Amino acid sequence: MIDLKNASRRDFLSISGRAGLATLVASAVGINVGMVEVLTAGTSKKITPFRFAILTDAHLFSIDDHKFDIFLAQAVEQVNAMSPAPDFVVYGGDIAQNGRDDQLVKGRKILSKLKMPIHFIPGEHDWYLDMGAAWKGHFGSPTWSMNHKGVHMIGMNSILVRDFWTAAGMSAKQRMDTMEMLESPIAGPWGVREEQLEWLKKDVKALGSETPVVVFTHSPLWDYYPRWNFQTEDAPEVRSILSKFERVMSFHGHVHQTVYNKIGNMSSVGTLSTSWPWPYPDVQLAYPEMRMTRSDPAMIQDGEGPQHIDLEADFQGTMHYDPFGNMLQPSIKDGFKI
């Protein structure tokens, strides 16, 4: 999907060049928004169409019957009611608000109501009280891959920072507090780091370039707004390892807003949270039509919700935001091609 008005010849070439047999079909969506669907035909590797859902950023507090518990439970109900049902759910991080075990336990309990399997990656709010010990105890390894109906799915932990706490003599709680603040001046940039990069290289080594790949991280795999860690420091390395594939889809949490980008062979989609929406940072977006409208603070769930993705036989994806409120632009209300 690209914005017709802003599409340069270079964008066009990078898409058609990669996919080899790509054709562009224009379809007018909305009044001022020109959208183009990229149809890849003739890839040798066909997949069995399926649907999966993403839930993320519940930010559960250690308070009973908190509104965010209810929001997450509602999102679970919404996913369970989808027809056709998603094959599985990916949870994109930030189950907890303060990294506490009781918050992770509460999240696991609410999510256990899902009728389908669920796979987890961590967010910064889950991790920095005990460096992921409780999280790993509940949800297993943050680094994983699986093959599903012809698609290679990858999950990675993108919230790893350099040690800022030891030299400063911080307690575990102070470390967590520091990471909780989005605009904290203290904690440095996030990344997946060396070990996972090595793992990723090995994980995709045997796969042919025609294999469809979907990757999940908490933070975006592109340089969106470093100040709020809307970025992953070593995303260029990740993208370079995945550059041999014809097409890669990246889904990320953390930004609590609708956002889309495309870099090389990777389309990248931000997901809504089930807790609260975040404002857009002051940067120029390559696909500004993907912004949601201002959320209404009087509508307590505006700008929140789960999402589901339909993958077609030729590895075309349609992203559907399933918001509780009504802040989506007309162009993304009925889903958009990714």
Partner 1 sequence: MNKKRVWAAIGVLAAGGALSLLVGAALARDPYTREELAEQEKALLASVDHGRDLWHGSNPSISTNGLACGNCHPDAAASNPHTFPKYQADVGKVIALRDMINWCITTPQAGKPLDADGDDMIAMEAYAFYLYRGKQIMPGLATEQTSPVVVKSGVGYPKKGSGVGYDK
Interface positions with partner 1 (CB under 8 A):
59, 61-63, 66-67, 97, 181-183, 185-186, 227-228, 276-282, 293-294, 297-298, 300
Q: Which is nearer to partner 1, 114 or 187 (CB)?
A: 187
- Based on the shown chain and the rule CB under 6 A, indicate whether residue 236 belongs to the binding site for ligand HEC: no
**Helix ranges, the chain (H):** 9-19, 67-80, 101-111, 124-127, 133-139, 172-180, 193-205, 235-241, 330-333
State how far the Cα of 237 lies from the Cα of 194, in Å rounded to an integer: 10
Instruction: List the single partner that 158 binds among ligand HEC, Fe ion, partner 1, none, CB under 5 to 8 Å by kind.
Output: none
Instruction: List the single partner that 182 binds among partner 1, Fe ion, ligand HEC, none, CB under 5 to 8 Å by kind.
Output: partner 1
Q: Which is nearer to ligand HEC, 245 or 276 (CB)?
A: 276
State how far the Cα of 247 lies from the Cα of 38, in Å rounded to an integer: 11
- Based on the shown chain and the rule CB under 6 A, indicate whether residue 330 belongs to the binding site for ligand HEC: no
- In the complex, what is the shortest distance from the CB of residue 279 to partner 1, in angstroms, rounded to a whole number? 4
Position among 18, 239, 254, 262 found at the interface with Fe ion (CB under 5 A): 254
**Chain centre distance of CA 289:** 18
**Contacting ligand HEC within 244-283 (CB under 6 A):** 276-277, 279
Applying CB under 5 A, which part among 64-72, 124-132, 185-193, 320-328 lies near Fe ion? 124-132
Instruction: List the single partner that 94 binds among Fe ion, partner 1, ligand HEC, none, CB under 5 to 8 Å by kind.
Output: Fe ion
Q: In terms of Cα–Cα distance, which of 95, 93, 90 is closest to 59? A: 95
Length of the chain: 338
| Degrees, nearest 5: CA angle 232-181-224 | 30
Q: Do the Cβ atoms of 138 and 104 come closer than 8 Å?
A: yes
- In the complex, what is the shortest distance from the CB of residue 52 to partner 1, in angstroms, rounded to a whole number? 28
Buried/exposed code over 123-162 (b: 16+ C-beta within 10 A; e: otherwise): bbbbbbbbebebbbeebeebbbbeeeebbbbbbbbbbbbe
**Contacting Fe ion within 78-97 (CB under 5 A):** 94
- Based on the shown chain and the rule CB under 6 A, indicate whether residue 219 belongs to the binding site for ligand HEC: no
φ, ψ dihedrals at 126, nearest 5°: -90, -15
- In the complex, what is the shortest distance from the CB of residue 42 to partner 1, in angstroms, rounded to a whole number? 43
Instruction: List the single partner that 123 binds among Fe ion, partner 1, ligand HEC, none, CB under 5 to 8 Å by kind.
Output: Fe ion
* CB-count burial class (<10 Å; 0-12, 13-18, 19+) for 79: buried
Kindly write down the DSSP assignment for every residue of 119-186, as one continuous string.
Answer: EE---HHHHTTTTTHHHHHHH--S-EEEEETTEEEEE----B----STTTT--HHHHHHHHH-TT-SS
Position among 92, 99, 107, 123 found at the interface with Fe ion (CB under 5 A): 123
Q: Do the Cβ atoms of 123 and 175 come closer than 8 Å?
A: no
- In the complex, what is the shortest distance from the CB of residue 138 to partner 1, in angstroms, rounded to a whole number? 21
Q: Do the Cβ atoms of 57 and 75 come closer than 8 Å?
A: no
- In the complex, what is the shortest distance from the CB of residue 141 to ligand HEC, in angstroms, rounded to a whole number? 32
Q: Which is nearer to ligand HEC, 212 or 277 (CB)?
A: 277
- In the complex, what is the shortest distance from the CB of residue 254 to partner 1, in angstroms, rounded to a whole number? 12
- In the complex, what is the shortest distance from the CB of residue 304 to ligand HEC, in angstroms, rounded to a whole number? 10
Q: For binding to ligand HEC (CB under 6 A), which residues are involved?
A: 276-277, 279, 294-295, 297
